[in-house]
């Protein structure tokens, strides 16, 4: 069995110029925007009290994003906010002046006109962008990497978008979508990764993800829990991880939680960078075959990378069996705890946590992180069963691919 790999963060610190992207005021603005949606409700924060005891921890909380806007994943938070900020910029307004009912009005559509929003996705991000474009009366074109399941394609087509599965990996689809956007009149790239020269929209997407972290922190306070001692967060390009890390670094500047980033081993570009130790971006290419489709991204978001290397404690590369273990444990937790339907990418951090706490070969990592009976751990299940057949084949059938 392949083992979990990890790299403690010894990278040199930078000026931390990107941390301001996730400033609390920016997150507050994003959350107010999301709250204006008629579909909005706070997603559950599930307290796994019995599981915490079994793992030897004080508290374990899982933020369940399978309830987000009826889309079974968190990604819509980023795409919708970025699209709103772009439209606000084009019509000379602040995004706070464009709540849902204004954005979807005939008056705004006349003022702004119609754009075509382009993106690349394995499923959840593209579905969120397509859903938002549909609600706002805009066009949407989505490119999907090879290996994408028909279920994920059909979910996007159902939102009225133009979508295709290409014979290329995720990172190549990003490049193709960007080229199409550049060639299209009023074509806009809405991608949750940043590169030199493309950073404004990804920063807005990260701020949109901040709604989820802000809700979780508020829910913890409502339960009478202190700030988490540890946050486990998954990463593909690192946009979500940078957003969550950035939020908590700003929220608790004097006493931040330890953040552990979990990647799919087949696409662990952040872990690779942390292992090198210089702070330089590292890229993973090729097919990146993994059940964690949402994490099969090999080129880091430049904004997030700067936040992560300044603040993350440890980077973890997890084989597929770790995610499958997490899915099963969340689906059937210790009696008395509520089950969580968590997809392959959503369950990877919990799978990693359970291994670190239960397996002797990860004792050194457990001790380094200080995970013990005093620890309060927060995790984010970023998706539900977005591909029900695959979910059942793993949780019920015992498959990993």
Per-residue pLDDT of 49-105, as tens digits, reads 999 999 999 999 999 999 999 999 999 999 999 999 999 999 999 999 999 999 999
How much is the pLDDT for 399?
A: 86
20 is catalytic: no
Q: Which tens digits make up the pLDDT trace of 364-394?
A: 999 999 999 999 999 999 999 999 999 999 9
Separation of alpha carbons 116 and 128, rounded Å: 15
> For 5-74+201-395, which CATH class?
alpha beta
Average pLDDT, the chain: 96
pLDDT for 122 equals 86
| Confidence grade of residue 1 (pLDDT, cut at 50, 70, 90) | confident
Return the pLDDT at 94: 96
Same fold, 5-74+201-395 and 76-197: yes
How much is the pTM?
Answer: 0.96
Domain ranges for the chain:
5-74+201-395, 76-197
Of 64, 122, 313, 320, which residue is the catalytic one? Answer: 122
The encoded tokens of residue 129 equal 């962008």
Q: What is the pLDDT of residue 71?
A: 94
Q: In this model, does residue 185 exceed pLDDT 80?
A: yes
pLDDT at 400 over 80: no
At 128 the pLDDT is: 94
pLDDT 10s digits, 326-374: 999 999 999 999 999 999 999 999 999 999 999 999 999 999 999 999 9
CA distance 158 to 124: 13
Given 63, 75, 135, 139, which residue is catalytic?
75
Model confidence pLDDT, tens digit, residues 282-317: 999 988 999 999 999 999 999 999 999 999 999 999
Is 75 assigned a catalytic role? yes
Radius of gyration of the chain (CA): 20
**The two three-digit tokens of residue 210, written as one number:** 């901040």
258 pLDDT band (50/70/90 cuts)?
Answer: very high
Phi then psi dihedrals of residue 366, to 5 deg: -55, -45
Taking CA atoms, 219 is separated from 77, 226, 234, in Å, by 18, 11, 20
With 90 as the cut, is the pLDDT of residue 275 above it?
yes
401 pLDDT exceeds 70? no
Transcribe 224-267 into DSSP letters: T----SEEEEEESSSHHHHHHHHHHHHHSTTSPPEEEEEEEGGG
Average pLDDT (101-129) is 94
Q: Span 254-264, mean pLDDT?
A: 98
Q: What CATH number labels 76-197?
A: 3.40.50.1100
Say what percent of the chain tops pLDDT 90: 95
């Amino acid at each position: 069995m392949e083992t979990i790999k990890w790299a403690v963060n010894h990278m040199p610190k930078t000026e931390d110029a990107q941390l301001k992207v996730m400033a609390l005021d920016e997150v507050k603005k994003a959350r107010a925007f999301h709250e204006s949606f008629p579909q909005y409700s706070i997603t559950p924060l599930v307290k796994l009290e019995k599981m915490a005891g079994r793992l030897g921890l004080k508290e374990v909380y899982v933020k369940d994003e399978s309830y987000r806007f009826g889309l079974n994943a968190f990604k819509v938070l980023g795409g919708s906010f970025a699209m709103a900020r772009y439209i606000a910029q084009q019509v000379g307004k602040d995004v706070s002046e464009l709540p849902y009912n204004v954005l979807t009005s005939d008056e705004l559509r006349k003022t702004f006109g119609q754009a075509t929003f382009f993106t690349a996705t394995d499923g959840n991000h593209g579905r969120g962008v397509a859903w938002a474009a549909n609600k706002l009366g805009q066009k949407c074109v989505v490119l999907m990497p090879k290996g994408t399941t028909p279920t994920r394609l059909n979910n996007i087509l159902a939102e009225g978008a133009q979508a295709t599965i290409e014979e290329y990996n995720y990172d190549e689809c990003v490049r193709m979508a960007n080229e199409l956007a550049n060639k299209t009149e009023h074509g806009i790239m809405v991608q949750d990764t940043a590169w030199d020269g493309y950073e404004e929209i990804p920063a807005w997407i990260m701020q949109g993800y901040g709604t989820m972290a802000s809700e979780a922190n508020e829910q913890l306070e409502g339960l009478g829990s202190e700030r988490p001692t540890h946050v486990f967060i998954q990463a593909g390009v690192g946009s979500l991880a940078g957003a969550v890390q950035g939020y908590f670094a700003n929220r608790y500047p004097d006493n931040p939680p330890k953040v552990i980033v979990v990647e799919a081993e087949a696409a662990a570009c952040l872990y690779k960078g942390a292992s090198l130790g210089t702070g330089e971006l590292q890229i993973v290419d090729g097919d990146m075959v993994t059940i964690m489709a949402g994490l099969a991204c090999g080129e880091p978001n430049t904004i997030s990378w700067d936040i992560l290397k300044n603040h993350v404690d440890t980077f973890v590369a997890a084989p597929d069996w770790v995610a499958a273990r997490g899915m099963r444990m969340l689906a059937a937790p210790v009696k008395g705890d509520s089950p969580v339907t968590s997809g392959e990418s959503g369950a990877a951090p919990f799978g990693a946590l359970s291994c670190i706490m239960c397996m002797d070969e990860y004792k050194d990592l457990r001790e380094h992180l200080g995970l013990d009976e005093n620890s309060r751990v927060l995790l984010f299940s970023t998706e539900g069963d977005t591909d029900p057949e695959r979910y059942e084949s793993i949780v019920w059938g015992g498959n990993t691919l």
